[in-house]
Chain A
Amino acid sequence: MNQADIRILIVDDEPNVLKALTRLLKQYEPVTAISGEEALLLAEQHRFDLVISDYRMPGINGIDFLILFKRMQPDAVRIVLTGFADLEGAQHAINEAEVFRFINKPWSNLEIVNVVENGLAHKRMLLENRALADQVRAQQILLNEKEAIIKALEAEEPGITQVNWAQDGSIILDDEDLQ
């Protein structure tokens, strides 16, 4: 996930909010949608690393949108930006949509930038974590194979894995070996 191909999606029914956030996150060249429906169409065609959505919108609301979006792109970081959320909505957001952060309107630019950076870092770490885990697993498999071969050899020729080799490739025999 390079800085260059990070893709951010912003969803809000208020065009001026979209413009202000686009300005703020200009370096990421975010994609915008004015409704959850439009955002879902975009999500069908493009991959996103992070999505910021308003809560109260005509049509499907922000949380329901994020739940659907999560099914399509589970790895993307989900952020809710809202002027008002009731407890029920917030619970829904945390439990069902598993949002990364809840940001209140009016927001502070610094907060948004921080949350976006943290969110992306979080995602990067998750991915890295996953990649490392995969690597570990792959090596474990390799290791297991090797171990099986050694065991088979040992069974056939006991002591064959215990041979002491010298630098020049000769076999070093202990005194007890000779007795």
Chain B
Amino acid sequence: MESDKQSTERQATILLVDDESINLSVFGQFLAPYYQVLVATSGQRALQLAGGAPKPDLILLDVMMPDMDGYQVIGQLKADPKTGDIPVIFVTALTSDLEEERGLSLGAVDYLYKPCHLSILLARIKTQLELKNARDWLKDQNAYLETEVQRRHQENEAVHLQLLQSEKLAAIGQLAAGIAHEINNPIGFVNSNLNTLDSYLRDVFCVVDASNAALDEKPLSEETLQSLRELKQAKQLEYLRNDIPELIAESMEGLTRVRDIIQDLKDFAHADKNEWELGDLHKGLDSTLNIIANELKYHCTVHKQYGEIPQIYCLSSQLNQVFMNLLINAAQSIETKGDIHIRTGRADQNVWVEISDSGKGIAPENLPRLFEPFFTTKPVGKGTGLGLSVSQNIVRKHGGKIEVTSQLGQGSRFRVWLPIRPPELGAAE
């Protein structure tokens, strides 16, 4: 026993409660070598000690006591969350099954009869303490596991957001060539026009300078006048007068187009704008169409049939990502020339956005795997295989769903259903 005592990291504390001091001293003396022993001669005192420090690991409680009996004491111990987890062993002279049953029903872990064999007492105490240690360990372990689960959940959430962002950037990367084309066109003609304007202005000022020189000449000779007329003719001043406003208007339009593309890209790529807000789905569809115009306009005709839909609470930048994935899929499924229809509408408390194409359709054996991450039938470099999986996650987060119907050789139809107000909006981040 001596070695056991040494090996326990902390000496357990045992509270003895008995109104007879002779019992206390017998037990106390016997237990003292093994445990730290606290004693109380009344229920009140016992409650005080149980709530204080050091907190007892086990209470040996007499049942028959004046003022407050053992049943009352255990009742109060159990009622207090601070002391409720201390195991209690009743030690009593009452020998009746009924009493024992009552004691155990009140939360006692064991029941001993006086007088009792001290080594039995010690064994019972040891068992209870071991049990308590095991319980405490389990409780700690549970708490640890709970925080771990919480942490992993947060980590998961962060990785998910990162995935969304990566998928979006990957998609933009694949669009980069098209976007470059879309931007280089206006930059090309604006730049060219400015250079032309430069030479126009040199011609204009050449005529102005000649006119000024003529004005200084007194009297103005007919020859000077004639050469001035010829200069004006040669520099095509009348043509410039008409062409310059056109040149400027076209250039301004070009710059507006570049500005709009950049703005759409910015709106689209924005990661930090992850807030639930009232969003206009039609606006989102239009700006997404602008970004991917270059992937569509050469071989697809886009037909828009927007219905009357209210604004909905959503993460609009994430929904644009969904629309982009669906539109690009539609465009890529069309091999030569075809149509893409975008329809919207409302049904009850939901709105829907439908994107259908006249492309090659999806093989029936591929339909069940459509939303699997990394599943793709596209050639290398044309898709990450994450588009639909990410889209489905986004739509689910909105409390919606994606319906697919497809016919090989006829085309596919994707319909995104979204509640006007997502049910778990309060809980959503």
What residues of chain A have their CB less than 8 Å away from a CB belonging to chain B?
14, 16-17, 19-21, 23-24, 56-58, 61, 82-84, 86, 104-109, 112
Contact = CB atoms under 8 A, between A and B. Distances in A.
Contact of A16 (B186, B196, B294): B186
Interface in B126-141: none
Given A16-B254, A17-B185, A83-B181, A107 B192 contact: yes
Contacts of B182: 83
8 contacts: A14-B185, A16-B189, A17-B188, A20-B188, A21-B189, A23-B193, A83-B180, A107-B191
A20 B192 contact: yes
Interface residues of B, number: 27
Contacts of A84: 177-178, 180-181, 184
B308 to A, nearest CB: 32
A14 B186 CA distance: 9
B250 A105 contact: no
Given A58-B299, A84-B178, A106-B191, A20 B185 contact: no
Interface string B163-199: 0000000000000011011111111110111011000
A107 B193 CA distance: 11
Contacts, number: 72
Most chain A C-beta atoms within 10 Å of own C-beta, residue among B189, B191, B246, B250: B189
Given A56-B181, A83-B180, A83-B181, A19 B196 contact: no
A86 B298 CA distance: 16
Interface of B: 177-178, 180-189, 191-193, 195-196, 243, 246-247, 250, 253-254, 294, 297-299
Contact of B196 (A24, A56, A86, A104): A24
Nearest to B199: A109
A88 B192 CA distance: 28
Contacts of A16: 186, 189, 250, 253-254
B273 to A, nearest CB: 29
A24 B197 CA distance: 10
B181 A109 contact: no
Contact of A17 (B189, B294, B297, B298): B189
B297 A58 contact: yes
A30 to B, nearest CB: 14
A14 B180 contact: no
Contacts of A104: 184
A82 B294 CA distance: 14
Nearest to B197: A23
